């Protein structure tokens, strides 16, 4: 099976503008989650990780890009600058991950055929491909909260098919009234900073950000880390509620371990989805136990970034890979007492150890699940 090497990455978030700044911020317990009052997004105060007003709202050349597109551009620019992979290479593909894209245009523009075209995710993908000079047709992955992980998995499969040698995978989402009100309608938004896996958890905080990961089949482009394996599954349980047993996420974990050639004992830490909702964290805890990983250190980054939707899987994967390289696991901000029925080893402080491999999990609306194994080269 073709090995997949990680060539470069980037994170842009309220915590920092590149991967190093973000990782160092997390080590200092810097969180982007703050209380927002008087926001155009909600009449009620809410906690979220948001960029300052006007951030990433600028014109690039002759083309007017949206905040969503400018965020992606900034992330991709930084990642490409740190990789030998070229956008114009005929063996390079661009993959964009998002859940909402330019949905905010519905709040500011008049309904028209042009708006329908502009709001299309395919339009954004074509604009970004043109901006960077990608010669191949870009691909959009939009599958709820597993979009970021699924985009990486899509890149892996395209490379292993022989169609491409490299994939530039970028994900982003920005928060709007539409997005926030949707989660509020589910009564899923916490009135306080979120508490993943905690007994007092009562919902999510939303967040905005972007991340890019460049992967390649060419070892000379590697920066010392690999994507070892990945898989997806579906609960077929409920449009918004996850599985009550965790069996389906466990299936994805098991297939990822098998593809990576690892047993459960080979996993050194888990970067969980950890949304801080009652049902997600319980389901993940059950899946972790079914996989025999209940003693493995686990963290959730939602207390730092909020839930960044289509960017979450990528942001958290980049931090997971950085953790491997630094032999350091970031703690779970907001956690103080166990709130799930199955035992999980939630990190409450910075954890340092020799790390070789990690498991990243994600789950989302529609019952979708994804798992991925990252490892040192």
> What does the pLDDT read at residue 53?
80
Element containing residue 372 per DSSP (H, E): strand 368-376
- Separation between Cα atoms, residue 306 and residue 14, nearest integer Å: 10
Question: Fold for domain 225-376?
Answer: Peroxisomal Thiolase; Chain A, domain 1 (3.40.47)
CATH number for the domain whose boundaries are 4-221: 3.40.47.10
- Separation between Cα atoms, residue 44 and residue 281, nearest integer Å: 26
> What does the pLDDT read at residue 237?
82
Alpha-carbon distance values, 263 to 163, 231, 318, 355 (Å): 30, 15, 23, 15
> What does the pLDDT read at residue 79?
98
> What does the pLDDT read at residue 197?
98
Indicate the pTM of the whole model. 0.97
- Separation between Cα atoms, residue 173 and residue 171, nearest integer Å: 7
> What does the pLDDT read at residue 59?
53
List residues bridging with 94 in a β-sheet.
168
Q: Do domains 4-221 and 225-376 have the same CATH topology?
A: yes
- Residues whose CB falls within 8 Å of the CB of residue 19, separated by 6 or more in sequence, listed in order: 9, 10, 11, 318, 319, 322
Question: Which parts of the chain register pLDDT below 70?
Answer: 56-63
pLDDT by residue (tens digit) across 228-255?
Answer: 999 999 998 888 888 899 999 999 999 9
Beta strands in 180-332 (DSSP E): 206-207, 209-216, 225-234, 269-271, 297-299, 328-329
CB 134 within 8 A of CB 89: no
Count of positions (residues) in the chain: 377
- Boundaries of every domain in the chain: 4-221, 225-376
pLDDT by residue (tens digit) across 116-169?
Answer: 999 999 999 999 999 999 999 999 999 999 999 999 999 999 999 999 999 999
> What does the pLDDT read at residue 55?
76
């Amino acid at each position: 099976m073709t090995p997949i090497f990680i060539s470069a990455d980037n994170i842009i978030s309220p915590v920092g503008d590149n991967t190093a700044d973000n990782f160092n911020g997390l080590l200092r317990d810097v969180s982007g989650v703050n209380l927002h009052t008087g926001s155009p997004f909600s009449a009620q105060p809410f906690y979220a990780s948001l960029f300052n007003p006007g951030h990433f709202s600028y014109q690039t050349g002759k083309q007017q890009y949206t905040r969503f597109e400018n965020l992606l551009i900034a992330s991709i620019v930084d990642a490409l600058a740190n990789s030998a992979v070229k956008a114009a290479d005929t063996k390079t593909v661009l993959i964009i991950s998002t859940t909402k894209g330019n949905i905010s245009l519905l709040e500011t523009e008049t309904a028209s055929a042009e708006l329908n075209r502009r709001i299309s995710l395919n339009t954004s993908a074509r604009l970004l491909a043109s901006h960077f000079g990608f010669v191949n047709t870009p691909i959009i992955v939009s599958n709820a909260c597993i979009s970021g992980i699924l985009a990486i998995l899509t890149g892996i499969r395209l490379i292993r098919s022989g169609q491409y040698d490299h994939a530039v995978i970028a994900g982003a989402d920005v928060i709007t009234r539409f997005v926030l009100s949707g989660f509020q309608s589910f009564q899923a938004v916490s009135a306080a900073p979120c508490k993943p896996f905690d007994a007092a958890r009562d919902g999510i905080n939303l967040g905005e950000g972007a991340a890019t990961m460049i992967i390649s089949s060419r070892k000379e482009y590697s920066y010392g880390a690999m994507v070892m394996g990945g898989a997806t599954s579906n609960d077929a349980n409920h449009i918004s509620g996850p599985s009550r047993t965790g069996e389906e996420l466990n299936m994805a974990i098991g297939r990822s371990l098998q593809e990576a050639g690892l047993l459960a004992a080979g996993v050194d830490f888990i970067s969980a989805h950890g949304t801080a909702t009652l049902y997600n964290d319980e389901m993940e805890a059950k899946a972790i136990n079914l996989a025999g990983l209940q003693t493995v250190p686990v963290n959730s980054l939602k207390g730092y970034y909020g839930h960044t939707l289509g960017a979450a899987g990528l942001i958290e994967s980049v931090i997971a890979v950085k953790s491997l390289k630094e032999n350091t696991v970031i703690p779970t901000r907001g956690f103080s007492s166990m709130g799930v029925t199955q035992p999980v080893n939630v990190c409450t402080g910075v954890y340092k150890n020799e790390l070789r491999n990690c498991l990243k999990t994600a789950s989302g609306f529609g019952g979708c699940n994804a798992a991925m194994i990252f490892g040192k080269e």
